[in-house]
Structure 1
Amino acid sequence: MPLIIITGIPSSGKTSRTQELKSFFSDKNKKVEIVSESDLVIKGGFIKNDFYMDSKKEKAIRGEIRSAVQRTLNSRDVLIVDGSNYIKGSRYELYCLSKLYKTPQCTIQCDLPVEHAWLMNSGRDEGEQYSRDTFDALILRYETPNNKNRWDSPLFAVTPDDKLPLEDIYHSLYSVDAPKPNMSTQSPAVSATNYLYELDRISQEIVNAIITADQMGITSDIKLPSYDLIIERSTSAAQLTRLRRQFLTYSKMHQVELNQIAQLFVQYLNKSI
């Protein structure tokens, strides 16, 4: 399924745009599937304002979104991910899935000034409103998509007053060649017998080097002499562990050349941190 990633700050009209897209593509005789962050939150038994203030709950739902996308993607129909998608690392992971399944993708940003979004939020039913603390926290966390980033491109930014460029979106999904898989998403014909050992060893060695540098006060442009690579900036040990685990999962499923492991892991970290 060609993939459409919806993103935006709270109360910026994401679900309304999702329904508009569904209607348009249905009229084009395309099957449309929707992965809704809001529906998964409700299904998980979470209260919205509590959910977005609990990183563990958010992590679990992001994992369910990735799993749903991986199960549903194909090259024929349309899959829309309706949610905040405010973390660029999460959008990058979805982009990697689209490359893996050789299907085009695009990003639609619901662009709305913060004060307008708060007014929209205040006009909702009380049970559907974001609290001020939750709203402000999500605004601070939001990582705005950039058309220069290949995982955000092509990017269509629309305000509530704009008409969706539906034909342009259709063209970006159905009138282009499927993306070519790269080393990070394509399985090699033959894998080394010690692949899993080397994958675990190299990725752990890089994580340890970042943690050591951070303890020494080096938080950016961390050099990895063993691999002639540079980590752009550090992060917490917990996040490094999470990102390493995600990288291991992808790499075990879709093996890469042994001499590419370090480069791809560093690239993944630099894009996700």
Structure 2
Amino acid sequence: MAQDTILIVDSLNYIKGFRYQMYCAAREHKLRVCTCKEWNASRQDGRAYAPETLENLLLRYEEPSSMVRWDSPLFTVTWADEDVPIDDIWKAITEGNVKPPNAGTQAVPKAPTDALRTLEHTTTTMVAAIMSEQSASGGLGGPVTLPLSSMLKPRVNLPSRNITLSELQRLKRQFVTVHKKAITLGTTEKGAVDWSEESIADKFAMYIEGNLKP
């Protein structure tokens, strides 16, 4: 499926659920979609269904209806029709309305495979860096730069008091627990989901600032 491709599906269209699945896939890719049907007997390539197979299909056939969104627009062409609405079909394919994706048709963004390790490592390193900085400054507090690596130096605003290791570990456990769920189950948050060390460090710094008592 692609926006510069016209895809014709001639398989299992007699099942309503399959037509709905194609409708959802088209919405996910922001494409137009329409449904057509044709007599099995019109196939001249030797690949038509056998009579008993066609009979079984007809017994399970769920006729398309233009009243439901995944069968609309619907063009029905019977064996006796001499005039096929080619212009209308072409207009529906190339100019018809494109339905926007919704929560039910959008793929859930997944975190990278090393996201859990990055989450645990980054938060643990930040706790150790905060304790080291506090020891060096005597607990003065204020804006502090944490040298986690040569490229990663998040800033955090600490209260002017002695922060205990148990406080930071408690906040770390809470932060990791919340974000582990998002990593495991995925998320439908708007925008890109960033699980890089820099993003996790910035979020954890904000979490610490918002939850450490003065």
TM-score bracket for this pair, using the shorter chain length: 0.3 to 0.5
Q: What is the TM-score when the length of structure 2 is the normalising length?
A: 0.47
Q: What is the TM-score when the length of structure 1 is the normalising length?
A: 0.37
Q: Which has the higher helix share?
A: 1
Q: Which has the higher strand share?
A: 1
Larger radius of gyration: 2
